Structure 1
Amino acid sequence: MSPEKGRVQLSPESSCALFQGQRQARGGSGPQLDPENGAGELVLISVYIQLDFTDDPWLAALSQPLTVLAASASSAPVTLTGLNLTTECNVTHNGCSYCACLSGYQWNSSVCSHHQPCQTSIKHRPCGCLVLNPTEVGYCQLLPPASVFNTPDSQCFMLAVQHCPTANTTYICELQSLGLSPLRVTVSVTIIQDGDTTCPEDSSTVAWNVTRAGHVAQAPCPGDRTGTVKRPCGPDGVWGPIHSNCTDTGLLALLLRAQLLQAGQGWPEEEVSQILAQLQEQVEAVTSPSDLLALVGTMTVLAKVVADTGTQLNCSALEAVLKTTDKVLGMNSSSLWTLALRQMPSVGSSLLLAVETLAHSLCPQDQPFSFVLPNVQLQSQLLEPTFPANYRVSFPTQPPLQAWIPRHSLAPLRHNGTNVSITSLVLQELDHLLPSNYGQGLGDSLYATPGLVLAISIMAGGQVFKEGEVIMDFGDIDGSPHCVFWDHDLFQGKGGWSDAGCQVQAASASPTTQCICRHLTAFSILMSGHTVPNNPTLELLSQMGLGASILALLLCLGVYRLVWRFVVRNKVAYLRHSALLNMVLCLLAANACFLGAPLLPAGPHSPLCLAAAFLCHFLYLATFFWMLAQALMLAHQLLFVFHQLSKLRVLSLMVLLGYLCPMGLAGITLGLYLPRGQYLSKGACWLDKKGGALYTFVGPVLAIVGVNGLVLTMAVLKLLRPSLSEGPQVEKRQALLGVIKALLILTPISGLTWGLGLATLLEEVSIVPHYLFTVLNASQGVFILLFGCLMDKKVQEALRKRFCCSHPPRSTISLATSETCISANSKGRSKDAR
């Protein structure tokens, strides 16, 4: 419907109004009201009227009834019942009008395209204010529910809301395009009511609007940066810190150019070098984590373009890559890198792969090539048709790093006319930026690294050659080293350290750490923070202690061979010395197995190493379970003096406890941890403590020590509280003294030794627990010989009788007499030992 127009001139100042009203009509196709009631049809119309006001309180005029003249004599009069202002115009000195649309209205697109926008300090939305000539009239129209505004550099989508929401509302804008997935954008509107706590307006860095407490305000990035900045409003109405997600527009432009190259738009041979040169200049613009991620992202995309298209770099382009990488690695890791790693933990792995790919893409005409910077060192060499004996390269790092590839690894590349180039790249400080991901066999422990990564690659005929043996010398490394490489395929493409195909070997001519790997990639060294350092003194003490322990145990067997029939003339003595004899046999076999294990080839694929670890685990456990059997037997003699078991039954129970229980524990440990690759320790035929297999040995040992301690406590209490119902006082006290003596022998040997053993698992700094544990553990055989065998008075008497031909007294009373069986009709006197 065309609007009916009228005009009332009152003053030079003008205002445009849109009238929405009701018109009485006597005909037409619209809804009809009852004519008897004198009511006509109600119609929503648009009428343009220009109002001029002479008085300042001009708003009062709008509240008065208005009469609109009929357009023609035949037209019915119109009564306006509602009025909304749409446009506000200010007349300039030359008669033109600056007309701006009020909230909820906009100019028609055809009108907007034929008029200039207003040039004022007030920022209106696109096509919100137009310049009208003096002879022109017009008014803004009601906004549709959704509209689009086009500007030279962007496109704005606007949603018109007729009524202000009464509560917080979330709007979802869905953009759809043919062939692409829909894009959803969420817009949250927060309603602020009277009495709500708010943060005030602030324009310190950017313009922050009034924000309700507990919400986060967003604003566009200032200056030549793209993105948003966020600032939380605290519950007390105080602004919080600003969180920036702004990226330099120059870095984003380079990233976009690289992405267009990847999509197939452009000439990689020309543009890759140009982008790399500009990227080197843009490093100085990196001031935020987003800038750093954009820079690394550009290098990553360019590396993919170079690899996919076979593009070769010249010297200047590769120098730009290395200089950019050197500056990136030299950035303060406590600020930019830390925040960037929080947003993208794999950014270090992406940088490593990009630099590796770009480094070995140097064209053969520019080789040999050498470049040294504080954080980046590169050497690239083109091999002659007749290869040298070995390819060798060295870098002036601290400690010096050397690497060589044997000739037999290069022999398969010898083809007529084929260019073979080897690129060796050392990156300092990059290993600290890689995620702490460890592959199978390395456990979940945190490792220390020497601060460098060595990447070696071979290009033959334009193709990357990944096979071949490489030997690396990383210098004198403290701790227990692991030769590893960075596998980009681990952990769903995030990358991780792996030791597959790599092993450590000691250098023959110097005390340095050498790694041998059977493939080419990025290598480094991991030093376990929980591994006992390689110490020649500790190894010598351990070997000497084990040798002395084996000799002592053999001597103990010889003593028992001489005096056995003299010391086992009653049931208690027989059971006690039987337990001690089995303990000696188990410990002797375990020490011999453990001493010979280093001579076997280490690794989970060595059956001999696996068998040695299982036997050591079983035999050491059996030693301690026989200690437990001896303690339980003595406790039974102490508590149940008049309820004795037969010798055969007690011995059968002791054998089950001493051998069957440790065999079951060792078997369960083997079946549980071997499939996981966590059974064997790295480089040794013993249990792995990182995966938890070692704790299946330490746990039962400490439990046995605890039981022995309880028996000792019980013996002391019994000794302090004698009871007349438990037999004669003298023999009871002698039995208690025998129990206490046995426990005082067992507890220091097992408890102190393996208490220190547990400390070595937890200790990361001091080496004192390692020394104490090594000495005590290797001397257990000596302790058993002295305190378990030679200090026994029965043994001493038998030895004197054997070698001195002297007979012991007929009525000798010693701690061993507590082992005699007390008959029911005993009157307090012990039988003659003979």
Structure 2
Amino acid sequence: MTCLFENSSKQNKKQDLNIPILQAVDRFCEPDLPWQKTKAGEKAIMECPVGRVGYRIRPCNVAGEWQSVLDYCVNEVINKLSSAVENFQTGLDATPEIAMEIFSGLKNNSASGTSMSLGDITATINILDGMKNASSAVTLHDDSMMNDFIDSASNILSTEWTDDNTITQDLSTNYLQAVEGLVTNMKVNQSDGHNSSNVQFQVCRNNDGCNRTIFGVEMALTTTAQAKVVALKNLSNKLPNHFSKTESASIVVSATLENTSDHMTNITLIFPFNKTTAHPGYKIKCVFWHTNRSEWSDKGCVWTEAEENIVCECSHLTSFSSLISKEEVDHPFLDMITYIGLGISICSLLVFLFIEWLVWSAIVKSNLSLYRHTSLANIAVSLLLANCCFLASAFPEKLGKLTCFVLVLAKHFFFTAMFFWMLCLSLMLLHQLIFVFSPLRKRVFMILSFTVGYGSPTVVVGVSYVYYDMLGKEPGNSYHNPETCWLRYEGLMKGSLHAFLFPVGVITLMNLISMVVVIITLMRPKVSEGKTDDKETLRSIIKAIVFLTPVFGGTWLLAVVSFTINEKTTLKVMLDYAFTIVNSLQGFLILVTGCLGEKRVREEVLRYILGSRSTKSESRQNLTTSIKK
């Protein structure tokens, strides 16, 4: 129905109301005073008692069964504080004195032991969130204000929230973001911290590091800036946890730096742990809370089991090995190797493409040479764009969700396209050697190669995205992982990473088979017959296939072997380093094989460098003229 409201000035306002109609055949919840008969799938609503503002609701599920009451009634004082915070955010009475009154009132009306309804908890968290937003514009720097804030945040954790997991997870996410934001924005003067029953706050002044013990957890932070550390009890079990079959630790530790230009390099947490009371076959996973994505992440975090402790170390890692690894790779120097190798690779690919453009008309004299250089040029372009996308996604936490998703699509496409163009090159060589009297026509090669080289990766990426994201064939397993800006791995034959591994494995196997067939065919005498130019080109293609197949395919097969090793053995470490080094230098290897390894290309480049190209062309022209005369 629609209600029409009219005031004394004849001004009107409409409001639509949904009133459930209970038919004779409908299911309903029986009256349970003070709750009246309610239609299945609807919610019964009641007013709050005197002195409280809001409402109470009790859902009636589709089976006609009453659910738990959700009490959204709010203490009148807390409700007034909510209004004050709304004004504070707009700039009205936005002064440090008003902020002190808000935090003081919040502390007094959320005192430990005070019964708080779901409405009180929701309103209190919204107050903290509102003050977090306002504190970015209004400087809050009183130590007593910080103490009241910590006590208020602690009091909320002393009471039960609700048995509705969805509501609890939303509230806990907002709570953590509000607390971390206020700790970051609020300034401290002389205080070294403040401890409450569920929240402990510590300040580390400028020195060589920050070492604290909070709620029995030892923390070591590597930084020279002023650090603020807050530990929270009774929160981790309320936060959403997408890691299946895991239990959260009882303490959440958050560290922020006063000087945002100083980056936290490493944080170490030592949790007490009793093996005797742990479940058999237990596994530990160190995680951090990703505020922007509101979920736990284990990126850059590793754990070490001591005698009676769990040691967690977290840092940012972006090495190439993370493209294939089931878990984050934590070996030192891999990042450095990746970036140095990528720099060399990208420069080499640009040089290669420039040389190809420079000498194209001079070296592409036959269909066979055209096929070779077309394939190599597209391999170089695909690898160049893939490497650039990899660098662009090196810091996923600084990227938006859409940007991260686009980069995952691009990396998946271009890395896969590189292999399909390798397949085109090897199959073309195989056809040329086997079907000697049926040469491949230029138009046919161009259509087939571009269809396979770029059409096949498009199909692979498109089907993968539709399968994992749009159709949701594997619940909870999306196409990409926002934490790593790469495909997901969820277990053996589970996860979108297999949509990359499977094509790479098949193409590498086909290339290896082609290479064996080529070697066997070369042993036949007929292969040595033919035009000199074609024989020279064939040799160049064979060298490219024989050299690049192990480099491309062998490199990723090396990673697959590392992928199958579960434990962090010396062999796995060696494989990770080998994969990262060779993979990051692939562009340089293409330059060596495609340009520097081919005699005709070297000669043309030398002519351009030495400036003798025009001179030799003139000499040939003069010689021809003399003969004709």
Higher strand share: 1
Higher relative contact order (CA 8 A, sep 6+): 2
Higher helix share: 2
> TM-score if structure 2 supplies the norm length?
0.49
